[in-house]
Amino acid sequence: MGLISLLWGIIAMIWMVVALIPVIGITNWLLIPFAAAGAVIAAIGIAITSREKRGRAKAGLVLNGIVIIVAIVRLNLGFGVI
């Protein structure tokens, strides 16, 4: 679960960078649920993994959280249009 959430977070980060382009900003509406699903996977990975093997799941949770925050801020700036 940790590796899946980490890869999910990396893909979400790449998508976030592309979504920062003004015309493509409307894709943030799809990016938020995508990153939220990755955060849920990371939370499940943290819950079921032993304490010493939680690093990748925690990293995935942080990456997905950053993506969600940036996407929400980006949508508040111009509703995804600009």
pLDDT at 28: 86
pLDDT at 81: 61
Instruction: Count how many residues are written for the chain.
Output: 82
Residue extents of the structural domains in the chain: 2-78
Residue 76 near residue 68, CB atoms below 8 Å: no
Which stretches of the chain are assigned E, i.e. beta strand?
none
pLDDT at 7: 94
Cβ neighbours of 11 (radius 10 Å): 15
Query: Mean pLDDT in each 10-residue stretch from start to end of the chain (82 residues)?
Result: 91 91 83 94 92 90 94 82 60
Give me the amino acid identity at 74: R
